[in-house]
Chain A
């Protein structure tokens, strides 16, 4: 206890310098926390995926469709419970900047596969009854101020034209990791319109979503589905939802790696600042430390003093930075909007904050300690500030 008091007293001898150092650490930890959260948000789709859901797409690439007739064949495969299907619609709401995911899906089975999209029974039924309707996530509806019954127009990029939809329901996510920024409408509506405008593209789906009876058999189901369509005009590639989502994440791997590197750079920057503070402190107190030594204190006592002070400063900054991360993350999530549908600070980020602060605190004290231990008593006492 006494030791802790000494650390604080020592740290507060230069209030301005200590205050600035603590502030610098707090900012660095805040930046680190935000960067980690950005990386986590990138992986949000992977985290939210279920082990029993499988995605089937055309094996050439995601932009090629599959025939609707595959639906019944997939249903016959052993271990398949529910089959749903849909298309990435890629519609633009007013302006290209307002990006959010919009899918045309078979509504009944799709909602069965995604129990984490919570809708009341009446809303659920109202959505199923109205072919021109859509449901939106809570965050998405809040962002654009949509109310039940509103008519929303999307401009099609893949399917040309202006498409009108009526909002019939707003779903809530069951977990904090559930994407509440989706726009889901009836696949039939899309298909009927295509039949009129370009019949050649009708009855094609972008992907099948499969619910396996048993998550342990998911890999086997995936194999059986792909085998069923081998050597057909549209061969399939089936993978778990997690692997499918991971495929998207790994495409922008270079950027994620860059962000990760940068998040470590900030730690090094802060190491330089704290080490500087400790070096200056050590230099100023050279005479003091020599006095201690002359009084009979050992090297380890002096080392404890320096290390303790360095850790006190870094941990104070770390605590401040961790507290500031939460409001900053909320503000950031609001600013980037639908680009990152899920943006939560993870507990791991906080542990890493603490771990890195400890490391910085320890490393920063190394050189001053080494210097003060190496300085002879006479030399130290002779030092002038």
Chain B
């Protein structure tokens, strides 16, 4: 025979202060757990959506990112003639030779500087990235000192808005457009004409070559052809893979940090639940004796207390998840260690993370409640009834 569910509910209600304190302790742990997973997820999502599996990035061998890479002009011409590059509707190859460097710019509302990616683009660059939409102004004219800035840059850096000029490389660059690239790394970049930027920065080499495959499944053949060409010291990666690699270190760091923190914190919350449940058992010895005398089994007592503890955990978990979901409204902007440049990304809540958070809170409730529940179940009827 089972003890009715309402018994548990009314017990929790009878000790409101204790219930609220215990559940809020667990809610905070779940909040931290969820928030950090959301952060790592957001970072990864941003960088994964930046790349497309149909595009190929070619950089110098062993250079981890475009910034460290260098592709000589003659090497770029060799790549340009590859037979697997998609030919666009205008009969031109879908290929862009780009320059990527970092410049430091002052942040909005402070005198602190941060590193920003500036990308020299050529004709096809915009069309190779489907996510890019110009929301204001116009694209930069080739051969001019005009730039367009991503939405995250406009918001976070001083003087990066439409109509302003930025000074770097001994020239003034006019912002003629703002582009939105959604939740991708491009939103944290500044784009300008590649040849002008190469001149200004005195870098006679490209950083990377980007092209679209005519047949996305033919990547392996292209990769082999490029990497085995004795004239080239380059490597080819699918664009999405390239950006995923860049998020790896940081996402791993965030996850390890988050998991070790929540592991320690959950100890505290589990102990809190344990204290509460031990007290719940201790103050109800007489009740337990009565129920046993009425014919309820040990297993029913055990499950009643476990259910109570699980409900505490669930209440905490749901509250924590509820508040963590508001973190989605925030955007975080920090330097990615791997690329050394500023990147803006949002907390991102997925179904997977929600399940994990709820499961985690239930485990906390279970672990906290199991010992007190066993103690309750193992009481002798006579002793329990004799207790005050």
A residues neighboring B (CB under 8 Å): 16-17, 20-21, 23-24, 27-28, 30-31, 34-35, 60-64, 90, 96, 155-158, 160, 200, 231, 233, 235, 247, 250-255, 258-259, 262, 265-266, 268-270, 272-273, 275-277, 279-280, 283-284, 367, 385
Contact = CB atoms under 8 A, between A and B. Distances in A.
Given A17-B279, A20-B271, A255-B334, A269 B29 contact: yes
B259 interface: no
A254 B18 contact: no
A279 B272 CA distance: 12
Nearest to B233: A160
B22 A272 contact: yes
B235 to A, nearest CB: 11
A61 B112 contact: no
Contacts of A63: 67, 101-102, 340
A61 B115 contact: yes
Interface in B22-47: 22, 24-25, 28-29, 31-32, 39
A200 B354 CA distance: 54
B278 A17 contact: yes
A160 B24 contact: no
Nearest to B203: A64
A61 B29 CA distance: 40
A60 B64 contact: no
Interface of B: 15, 17-18, 21-22, 24-25, 28-29, 31-32, 39, 60-64, 67-68, 101-104, 112-115, 168-170, 201-202, 204, 233, 257, 261, 264-265, 267-269, 271-272, 274-276, 278-279, 283, 332-335, 337, 340, 342, 388
Contacts of B24: 272
A17 B275 contact: yes
Nearest to B280: A280
B321 to A, nearest CB: 15
Given A63-B102, A273-B272, 8 more contacts: A24-B268, A160-B60, A233-B202, A251-B335, A254-B333, A269-B25, A273-B21, A276-B17
B304 to A, nearest CB: 20
Given A247-B113, A254-B332, A273-B275, A385 B104 contact: no
Contacts of A62: 102, 104, 115, 340
B272 A272 contact: yes
Contacts of B22: 272-273, 276
Contact of B268 (A16, A28, A367): A28
Contacts of A35: 261
11 contacts: A17-B278, A20-B271, A63-B67, A160-B62, A252-B335, A254-B332, A262-B261, A266-B265, A272-B28, A273-B275, A279-B21
If over half of B's interface residues share one DSSP class (helix, strand or loop), that class is named, otherwise mixed; here it is: mixed
A273 B18 contact: no
A31 B18 contact: no
If over half of A's interface residues share one DSSP class (helix, strand or loop), that class is named, otherwise mixed; here it is: helix
Given A63-B102, A276-B21, A158 B272 contact: no
B103 to A, nearest CB: 5
Contact of B334 (A254, A262, A276): A254
A277 B101 contact: no
A23 B22 CA distance: 16
Nearest to B204: A200
Contact of A27 (B64, B114, B115, B264): B264
B388 A385 contact: yes
Contacts of B18: 276, 279-280
B271 A60 contact: no
A6 to B, nearest CB: 22
A82 B156 CA distance: 38
Contacts of B342: 251
A27 B268 contact: yes
B62 A251 contact: no
Contact of A24 (B201, B261, B271): B271
Contacts of A21: 271, 275
Given A17-B275, A17-B278, A23-B271, A272 B21 contact: yes
Nearest to A18: B275
Given A24-B268, A96-B64, A160-B62, A60 B169 contact: yes
Contact of B112 (A28, A60, A250): A250
B271 A157 contact: no
B275 A276 contact: yes
A367 B202 CA distance: 69
A265 B30 CA distance: 11
A269 B64 CA distance: 41
A96 B67 CA distance: 17
Given A61-B104, A254-B332, A273-B272, A279 B67 contact: no
A44 B171 CA distance: 37
A90 B64 CA distance: 10
A160 B22 CA distance: 57
* Residue of B25, B32, B201 ringed by the most chain A CB atoms within 10 A: B25
Given A63-B67, A235-B170, A255-B334, A268 B28 contact: yes
Contacts of B332: 254, 258
B212 to A, nearest CB: 27
A299 B153 CA distance: 61
Nearest to B63: A157
A61 B64 contact: no
Contacts of B335: 251-252
Given A61-B115, A157-B64, A269 B268 contact: yes
Given A21-B275, A60-B169, A155 B62 contact: yes
B68 A157 contact: yes
Contacts of B168: 60
Contacts of B169: 60
A60 B173 CA distance: 14
Nearest to A336: B256
A331 B218 CA distance: 49
A200 B257 CA distance: 43
B253 to A, nearest CB: 8
A259 B315 CA distance: 26
